[in-house]
């Protein structure tokens, strides 16, 4: 008898587990799918408090993961996403995005027009910029005193096992292409072969590929040179003021993350409210202070302190943006990059 | 009688649902899409092709297979080296102590393995605990490179997978008749000889089961390679993950997964051909 009791309890628990998640709620919600570590929790809590809208927040760590999540989930699962430039283009092509109604956004005028009307979404019909990022070389000047101005300088044998790179095939292969004078988005097999040889030559100097927290390598002095996103570099600088930032002469990789509403989103008016809230000068200030990417909000720019403004890692100079390159959609050729990546590793 | 059968079915039902919903269906789905064509935007075109399987046998990917098998092999070997003495030592303890010690083997499972990997990071890095202590004691002058290389990967793999070797080996060893060991030593066999002639043959099923449970996941634990290996090496796990998350080539990722399943199945078939019984693999 006792056994039956036991089994029944387990059985009930199991069925409860199977059936859980079938409940419904009436409170206003917005389902946000965003990059991990991009908006501080406090901003989301104060949005909830101010509007009474509950934010269901989930994250991704690459554009492809965002694409996979949105396209494999039931239509209307997500109300707001933050894809980068080339992913916006892909999503527009695949008709995955709703047209944005800018009249629903009171604060849209806060955006700096310099960042609007990009080639991936002319006229900003589907997306609006959130923040910008660029790759940068960060060097710990406590240990490295050589002049570094080019990606080629990273090949120096002195840096054996001392360089950290972002774990992103398009960015790192792109860097190798730029170092050798090619277009960062080329699909020319000969150019890619050159890039491969260059990376194999660089490999002994590579300590690790890490996208989650490359700044930790600099902070813990595990590596003294890193190629990483600007905000990560700026955060590392907060820990060690002897870290110098170098934008190499060949140009940097750029990335612009954008607000976009997936097709069929069920809570669009809440999504607009969320976008509008983030476009507010004081809210954007809080976000930028936590994650010092390049701010694209004109009204916020005047509120930011000199710590941010005078730091070229966080406040990327306009000349760098003008000479930088975006990752472009290369369609089927992504296969070549993927194979090359397997060869390097 | 009949109602008893019905009851039985009622209680087995969740298991059937569980296995078919969460194991069989996804596997069938993977098999299906491995014959599809990718549209390179994360979508698939449902035209039948075997191109994905031809691509798997590209020299680049073969070398990924070989590297993975190498790492998994070393991991399995080290796990065996550690587990035998451990299990034999435990089996001589009082039953109560045995229970406590075996529970301790299971304790790490209570924490997420990813978090435990970050724990190793703190221990192994250049300015980590191990290097600090060794340098403080004057054993070494320069910090050792304990991670972001092969050593780190192997440490992580062995640490994570060791319990999977210990558990089946323990249940095998506890079935060995102590009188046989006594008889062996009475007849003048050395301890080594007793181990190789008596213990190993009788614990082969446990050894094989453990090896399978260590070897197979070791082919795919990409997070260990990423964290403790510094992402510098690509094993099958990374390769498959990349197909789904960066190359947007789901069919190819599926094809690699199917080849991986086939390799594992081959190992089991070889085991059966060599006279092993499937029941023994189920554990005690």
Determine the 3-state secondary structure of B49 from DSSP. coil
pLDDT at B120: 93
Residue B282 has pLDDT above 60, yes or no: no
pLDDT at B58: 93
pTM for this one?
0.85
Mean pLDDT of A95-108: 95
Mean pLDDT of B55-61: 92
B65-92 pLDDT, tens digit per residue, is 999 999 999 999 999 999 999 999 998 8
Nearest CB neighbour to A207, from listed B14, B148, B244: B148
Token pair, residue A87, equals 């992913």
Question: Cα–Cα distance between B33 and A339 in angstroms, integer?
Answer: 20
pLDDT band at residue B266 using 50, 70 and 90 as cut-offs: confident
Using an 8 Å Cβ cutoff, are B183 and B190 in contact?
A: no
Count CB pairs under 8 A between chains A and B: 90
What residues 79-138 of chain B have any CB closer than 8 A to a CB of chain A? 125-127
Mean pLDDT of A113-135: 95
Look-up of token digits 């991986």: B260
Interface probe with B: pick from A162, A170, A196, A335, most Cβ of B within 10 Å = A335
- Nearest residue in chain A measured CA to CA from B59: A343
What residues 26-65 of chain B have any CB closer than 8 A to a CB of chain A? 40-43, 58, 60-61, 64
pLDDT at A191: 97
Interface probe with A: pick from B67, B121, B132, B245, most Cβ of A within 10 Å = B245
Mean pLDDT of A215-228: 93
Taking the Cβ of residue A220 and every Cβ of chain B, the question of whether any pair is shorter than 8 Å is answered with yes
What torsion, rounded to 10 degrees, do the Cα atoms A217, A220, A224, A230 define?
50
DSSP secondary structure, A72-139, as one string: HSPTTS-SEE--BHHHHHHHHHTT-BPPP-GGG-GGGGGB-GGGSS-TTSGGGSSEEEEEEEEEEEEE
Mean pLDDT of B35-44: 82
Neighbours of B243 (CB within 10 A): 23
Of the candidates B232, B240, B233, B225, the residue with the CA atom closest to the CA atom of residue B117: B225
Between these two residues, A82 and B12, which has the higher pLDDT value? A82
Using an 8 Å Cβ cutoff, are B31 and B53 in contact?
A: no
- The ipTM, to two decimals, is 0.83
pLDDT at B284: 36
B169-178 pLDDT, tens digit per residue, is 999 998 888 8
Put simply, the answer to whether A67 touches B238 (Cβ < 8 Å) is no
Question: Cα–Cα distance between B258 and B31 in angstroms, integer?
Answer: 7
Domain boundaries, chain B: 51-281
Put simply, the answer to whether B234 touches A64 (Cβ < 8 Å) is no
Question: Cα–Cα distance between B268 and B278 in angstroms, integer?
Answer: 9
Residue B33 has pLDDT above 70, yes or no: yes
- Nearest residue in chain A measured CA to CA from B10: A11
Residue B237 has pLDDT above 60, yes or no: yes
Neighbours of A6 (CB within 10 A): 10
Residue A19 has pLDDT above 90, yes or no: no
Domain boundaries, chain A: 27-132+256-314, 133-254+324-344
Chain Cα centroid distance, residue B180? 31
A288-293 long-range contacts, CB within 8 A, separation 24+: A288/A131, A288/A314, A290/A40, A291/A37, A291/A38, A291/A39, A291/A40, A291/A131, A291/A231, A292/A230, A292/A231, A292/A234, A292/A235, A293/A131, A293/A132, A293/A133, A293/A229, A293/A230, A293/A231
Mean pLDDT of B260-276: 82
Question: Cα–Cα distance between A135 and A228 in angstroms, integer?
Answer: 5
Interface probe with A: pick from B15, B63, B129, B232, most Cβ of A within 10 Å = B232
Contacts of B239 in chain A (CB under 8 A): 342
Residue B279 has pLDDT above 70, yes or no: no
A224-251 pLDDT, tens digit per residue, is 999 999 999 999 999 999 999 999 999 9
pLDDT at A332: 86
Residue B166 has pLDDT above 80, yes or no: yes
pLDDT at A62: 84
Query: Residues, chain B, total?
Result: 284
Question: Cα–Cα distance between A113 and A307 in angstroms, integer?
Answer: 24
A261-282 pLDDT, tens digit per residue, is 999 999 999 999 999 999 999 9
Question: Cα–Cα distance between B54 and B58 in angstroms, integer?
Answer: 7
Contacts of B247 in chain A (CB under 8 A): 64, 334-335, 337-338
Looking at CA atoms only, how far is residue B156 from chain A in angstroms?
16
CATH fold, domain A27-132+256-314, is D-Maltodextrin-Binding Protein; domain 2 (3.40.190)
Using an 8 Å Cβ cutoff, are B235 and B248 in contact?
A: no
Mean pLDDT of A65-89: 92
Q: In the CATH scheme, what is the homologous superfamily, with its name and number, of domain B51-281?
A: MetI-like (1.10.3720.10)
Determine the 3-state secondary structure of B162 from DSSP. helix
Residue B131 has pLDDT above 80, yes or no: yes
Taking the Cβ of residue B232 and every Cβ of chain A, the question of whether any pair is shorter than 8 Å is answered with yes
pLDDT at B70: 95
Interface probe with A: pick from B51, B66, B148, B223, most Cβ of A within 10 Å = B148
Question: Cα–Cα distance between A85 and A70 in angstroms, integer?
Answer: 16
Residue A12 has pLDDT above 70, yes or no: no
Using an 8 Å Cβ cutoff, are A51 and A283 in contact?
A: no
CATH architecture, domain defined by A133-254+324-344: 3-Layer(aba) Sandwich (3.40)
Mean pLDDT of A198-208: 96
Looking at CA atoms only, how far is residue A277 from chain B in angstroms?
31
Taking the Cβ of residue A267 and every Cβ of chain B, the question of whether any pair is shorter than 8 Å is answered with no
Task: Kindly report the average pLDDT of chain B as a whole number.
Answer: 89
Taking the Cβ of residue A25 and every Cβ of chain B, the question of whether any pair is shorter than 8 Å is answered with no
Give the Å distances, CA to CA, from B155 to A15, A164, B151. 39, 21, 6
Mean pLDDT of A176-187: 96
pLDDT at B275: 66
A152-175 pLDDT, tens digit per residue, is 999 999 999 999 999 999 999 999
pLDDT at B42: 67
Give the Å distances, CA to CA, from B192 to B76, B169, B178, B211. 21, 18, 16, 22
Residue B283 has pLDDT above 50, yes or no: no
């Amino acid at each position: 008898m006792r056994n039956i009791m036991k089994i029944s309890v387990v059985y009930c628990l199991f069925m409860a587990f199977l059936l859980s998640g079938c409940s419904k709620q009436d409170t206003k919600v917005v389902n946000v799918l965003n990059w991990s570590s991009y908006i501080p929790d406090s901003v989301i809590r104060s949005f909830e408090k101010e509007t009474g809208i509950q934010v269901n927040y989930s994250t991704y760590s690459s554009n492809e993961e965002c694409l996979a999540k949105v396209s494999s989930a039931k239509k209307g699962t997500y109300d707001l996403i933050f894809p980068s430039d080339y992913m916006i283009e892909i999503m527009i092509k695949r008709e995955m995005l709703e047209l944005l109604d800018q009249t629903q956004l009171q604060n849209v005028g806060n955006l700096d027009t310099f960042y609007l009307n990009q080639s991936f979404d002319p006229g900003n019909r589907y997306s609006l910029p959130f923040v910008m990022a660029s790759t940068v070389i960060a060097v710990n000047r406590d240990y490295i005193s050589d002049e570094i101005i080019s990606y080629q300088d990273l090949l120096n044998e002195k840096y054996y096992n001392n360089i950290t790179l972002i774990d992103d095939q398009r960015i790192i292969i792109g860097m190798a292409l730029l170092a050798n004078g090619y277009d960062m988005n080329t699909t020319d097999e000969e150019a890619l072969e050159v890039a491969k040889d260059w990376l194999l030559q660089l490999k002994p100097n590579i300590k690790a590929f890490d996208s989650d927290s490359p700044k930790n390598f600099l902070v813990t002095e595990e590596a003294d040179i890193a190629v990483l996103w600007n905000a990560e570099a700026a955060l590392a600088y907060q820990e060690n003021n002897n870290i110098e930032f170098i934008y190499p002469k060949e140009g940097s990789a750029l990335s612009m993350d954008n607000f976009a509403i997936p097709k069929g989103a069920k809570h669009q008016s809440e999504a607009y409210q969320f976008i509008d809230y983030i476009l507010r000068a004081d809210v954007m200030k809080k976000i930028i202070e936590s994650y010092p990417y390049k701010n694209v909000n004109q009204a916020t720019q005047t509120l930011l302190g000199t710590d941010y403004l005078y730091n070229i890692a966080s406040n990327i100079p306009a000349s760098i943006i003008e000479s930088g390159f975006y990752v472009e959609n290369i369609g089927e050729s992504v296969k070549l990059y993927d194979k090359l990546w397997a060869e390097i590793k | 009688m009949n109602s008893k059968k019905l009851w039985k079915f009622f209680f087995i039902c969740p298991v059937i649902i569980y296995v078919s919903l969460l194991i069989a269906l996804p596997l069938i789905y993977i098999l299906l899409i491995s014959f599809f064509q990718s549209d390179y935007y994360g979508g698939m075109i449902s035209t039948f092709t075997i191109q994905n399987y031809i691509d798997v046998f590209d020299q680049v990917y073969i070398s990924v297979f070989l590297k993975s098998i190498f790492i998994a092999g070393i991991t399995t070997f080290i796990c065996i080296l550690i587990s035998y003495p451990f299990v034999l030592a435990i089996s001589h303890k009082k039953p109560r102590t045995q229970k406590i010690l075996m529970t301790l083997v299971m304790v790490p499972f209570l924490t997420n393995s990813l978090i435990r990997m970050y724990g190793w990071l703190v221990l192994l890095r250049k300015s980590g605990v191990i290097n600090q202590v060794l340098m403080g004691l004057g054993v070494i002058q320069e910090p050792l490179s304990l991670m972001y290389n092969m050593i780190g990967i192997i440490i992580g793999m062995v640490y994570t997978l060791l319990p999977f070797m210990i558990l089946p080996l323990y249940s095998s060893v506890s079935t060995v008749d102590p009188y046989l060991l006594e008889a062996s030593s009475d007849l003048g066999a050395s301890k080594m000889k007793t181990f190789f002639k008596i213990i190993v043959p009788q614990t082969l099923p446990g050894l094989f089961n453990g090896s399978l449970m260590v070897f197979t996941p070791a082919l795919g634990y990409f997070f260990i390679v990423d964290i403790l290996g510094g992402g510098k090496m690509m094993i099958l796990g990374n390769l498959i993950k990349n197909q789904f998350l960066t190359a947007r080539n789901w069919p190819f990722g599926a094809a690699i997964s199917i080849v991986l399943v086939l390799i594992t199945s081959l190992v089991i078939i070889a085991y059966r051909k060599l006279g092993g019984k499937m029941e023994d693999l189920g554990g005690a």
